[in-house]
Chains A and B, each alone.
Chain A
Amino acid sequence: AQSVAQPEDQVNVAEGNPLTVKCTYSVSGNPYLFWYVQYPNRGLQFLLKYITGDNLVKGSYGFEAEFNKSQTSFHLKKPSALVSDSALYFCAVRDMNEYSSASKIIFGSGTRLSIRP
């Protein structure tokens, strides 16, 4: 069975510093990985995804994520944090080996990112 873990409930970073939001996953086959962001009282907004190819994926708002197959991780990163990046971030995985039996996307528990001025 597939699973995804976000080990940190909250990450605090000073504005202008680099940020990392961690995500690890477990699948039986090849993973499709996603990052979403949720602002208060809003739905989830797509940031980026990894399907295949280059391990470094670039997404919206200056975010990027690095796929590491050996460590089964897909950490979200940004070189310089902004106060406006403060939000709830979700990692998600779909196991493509299970696709034929109608796999579903599993979301992590979320990490609250707080950027202080």
Chain B
Amino acid sequence: KAGVTQTPRYLIKTRGQQVTLSCSPISGHRSVSWYQQTPGQGLQFLFEYFSETQRNKGNFPGRFSGRQFSNSRSEMNVSTLELGDSALYLCASSLDRVGTDTQYFGPGTRLTVL
């Protein structure tokens, strides 16, 4: 089975621009979560989607948004980029939205904001 894929792998943007990141979960997985990883803040939860519905959200400003499609693929969007948004954005998928399910992570998208 193919793993979680994320595109693009690397991205360079300037302040004020917006960006869309994509995540394709493992086949059959219905839950997708997004995380932001930075050296200073570590791994922070952004949001979780299950069957096209946002089921949980972290403490991020409204500039961060996401969605999930009927095939479970997910996108996250960041508008009006700030320097502090530079980070590794990780997507994780799991079979079902049950607490025992293991999340499998993609390789991440490294976003650099200049």
Q: How many residues of B contact A (CB 8 A)?
A: 22
A interface, over-half SS: mixed
Interface string of B74-114 (1 = CB under 8 A from A): 00000000000000001010000001101111111000000
Q: Is the CB of B43 within 8 A of A107?
A: yes
Q: Is the CB of B55 within 8 A of A32?
A: no
A interface residue count range (under 10 / 10 to 19 / 20 to 34 / 35 or more)? 20 to 34
Q: Is the CB of B100 within 8 A of A43?
A: no
What residue in chain B is nearest A42 (Cβ atoms)? B107
Given A43-B90, A44-B90, check contact A103 B99 (CB 8 Å): yes
Does B42 make an interface contact (CB < 8 A)?
yes
- Extra pairs beyond A45-B105, A108-B42 (12, CB < 8 Å): A32-B99, A43-B90, A43-B106, A46-B104, A49-B102, A102-B55, A103-B56, A104-B45, A105-B33, A106-B45, A107-B35, A107-B45
